[in-house]
Structure 1
Amino acid sequence: MKTSGNTILMTGGGSGIGRELAREFHALGNTVIVAGRTASSLDETIAGREGMHARTLDVQDGDDIARFAKALIADFPELNVLFNNAGVMAKEDWLADPVDLSVAEATVATNILGPMRLTAALLPHLRAQPAARLVNVTSGLAFVPLAHTPAYSASKAAMHAWTQSLRYQLQDTSVEVIELAPPGVQTGLTPGQETREGYMPLADFIAETMESFGIEDTPAEVCVQRAKLLRGAEASGNFDQVFKMLNDSYQG
């Protein structure tokens, strides 16, 4: 699919990976809409960039997704690319008595139900476009979980499986389905992560990722080199070692 002349929706576009990908695609000559809950952060993303637009959206709220999708299609009828990027990540304590399920419930609502609901709302429109792309942002933790964030890891594993299923169901349509699986990247996803040692610098991740999207035949899975250890752990027979290394070294 072409890398310019598209109309792209980027959820979670107010910071981190979403913000920087949105800016990169805009610089290539695309109309880009960033969506998220915090209007001020979205305004920072688009400041001084003609052809970038901001729309508020709470991906945990099914009614808000329905409102948002209807207005978006009306305002941007040429919309042909959806990045399901918005997500939350937090530690959980399953040794607590009682176990607090609030983090797990919010994670499932944001990371799984949010993308599913938004995709369902926009997919008929995307299928009507001559060429469309659906990109689901998962994580290297979809393949080797971080035990301190079990709901997050599980949500990304679920998104990986869902993406594979969508790709199969949509194979004879105009919608190309891509999975983007980042490693740990220096963003504000969790407290202190922007400067955490061992995490990939955001600029490096964006540069390597954009190289993959620039390939005419973009891979079905966009996975930077730093994420391939996790992606291939089970297939290589090294899952137990990689799982132990990942979890023993965690300092979040």
Structure 2
Amino acid sequence: MPGIELSKCVLITGATAGIGRALAYAIRQLPNKPQVIATGRRQDRLDELAKDGFETYKLDVGADRATLQKTVEELLARYPDLDTVILNAGVQREFDFRKEIDLDKLEYEMKINYNSTVILTTYFLPHLLKLGSLGRQTFLVPVTSGLAILPAPRVPNYSASKAAVHSFALSLQAQLAGTGVNVLEIIPPLVESELHDAEGTTEALSKIWMPLEEFVPIATRGLVAGTPHIVVGRSESMWDKFEKGKDEIVAQLFKA
């Protein structure tokens, strides 16, 4: 499968911190020197990235559908060469169903992690398919998690949302085969991130997480190689045990 060494223009959601920000810097350094558009909600972080030479765009993936559609239209008008979309934005919350649940937080987490991925995919795909029909290789890259395969009980909704994105990615790979739109799923382990700050678990998790400086080179090599499922670190053993070969079965089911 082709990889993003062919990309001319890459957009990354959730690029103001963590995996998204680190990938933005790594991808910009690839030999093909693609234009990188960093998006996120925090204007101060976007301003920092702009000073470092990135294209930036303020994007809240939790916005309503009409706003997201308008945003995608504006982005495509500004960047007609956009050929790679990395859907990385996410939030993580702890829920204990033995206690009272804040359903607003639960719904918001699913909206950010899953619904926005599907909505943005829907709005970007016609453009990517058009480029594909013209012989350009394009890339749609959802970022899921090892928790999509084996859930963590402390974050049940996060785990479920990432499992939903993983399932969605498998179906997209089957549906888009041969269109020129390549779906490359990144499946990280627990990685250095501000994702855990909201729950106050960063200090504890920092003792066991994979540093970004170890994660990003592996993920970037997978993107360059065009690996359909870029499984990193501890996620690999879970993939081998529970998921290996599933994509081939899904593809066969779609053709049946």
Shorter-chain TM-score tier: 0.7 to 0.9
Aligned to 2:138: 132
Pick one of 47, 54, 64 that aligns with 2:51.
47
Aligned to 1:27: 29
Cα distance in 2, alignment partners of residues 76 and 170 from structure 1:
23
- Displacement of 1:235 in angstroms is 6.1
The residue number in structure 1 matching 2:248 is: none
Please state how far the C-alpha of 1:149 moved relative to its aligned partner. Answer: 0.6
Cα 1:155–1:235 shift into 2, 3 Å: closer
What is the aligned partner in structure 2 of residue 57 from structure 1?
Answer: 59
Aligned to 2:150: 144
Q: Is the 8 A contact 1:58 1:64 kept in 2?
A: no
1:165-223 CA-partner distances (Å, limit 9, x unpaired):
011111120100111000000111112537611110111000121222232xx211001
User: Is the partner of 1:225 in helix, strand or coil?
Assistant: coil
Deviation per CA, 1:49-72, whole angstroms, max 9, x where unpaired? 2xx211111111122211210100
Q: Runs of 5+ in structure 1 lacking a partner?
A: 237-252
Q: Pick the aligned partner of 2:119 from 100, 108, 117.
A: 117
* CA distance in 2 between partners of 1:149 and 1:73 (Å): 35
**Contact 1:57–1:64 (Cα < 8 Å) also in 2:** no
Q: CA separation in 1, counterparts of 2:227 and 2:52? A: 32
Aligned to 1:193: 202
Equivalents in 2 of 1:100, 1:157: separation in Å?
A: 21
Q: Which deviates more from structure 2 when the two are superposed, residues 117-126 or residues 221-230?
A: 221-230
Equivalence map 1:216-227=2 (5 Å): 218-227=226-235
The one of 213, 229, 233 equivalent to 2:237 is 229
Separation of aligned partners in 2, 1:174 and 1:233 = 30
Whether the 8 Å CA contact 1:91–1:148 is kept in 2: the answer is yes
Percentage of identical aligned residues: 33
SS for the counterpart of 2:185 is: strand
Describe the shift of the 1:221–1:202 C-alpha distance in structure 2 as closer, same or farther (beyond 3 A): same
2:112 alignment partner AA? T
1:89 alignment counterpart: 92
Structure 1 residue 5: Cα displacement: 4.8
What letter corresponds to residue 146 of structure 2 in structure 1? G
Residues 131 and 235 from structure 1, CA distance in 2 versus in 1: closer, same or farther, beyond 3 angstroms? closer
Alpha-carbon offset, residue 95 of structure 1: 1.2
Distance 1:48 1:11 in 2: 17
Measure the CA separation in 2 of the matches of 1:121 and 1:74. Answer: 13
Letter in 1 for 2:214: D
* Partner in structure 2 of residue 202 of structure 1: 212
CA contact (8 A) 1:7 1:32 kept: yes
Q: What does residue 170 of structure 1 align with?
A: 176
Task: For 1:158 and 1:169, locate their aligned partners in 2 and report how far apart those are by CA, in whole Å.
Answer: 17
Larger proportion of helix? 2
Would the aligned equivalents of 1:14 and 1:44 in 2 still touch at CA under 8 Å? no
Match of 1:36 in 2: 40
Take 1:141 and 1:60, find their aligned partners in 2: how far apart are those partners? 22
Moved >6 Å (runs of 4+) = none
Indicate the SS of the match to 2:139: strand
**3-state DSSP of counterpart to 1:77:** coil
Q: TM-score, normalised by structure 2?
A: 0.85
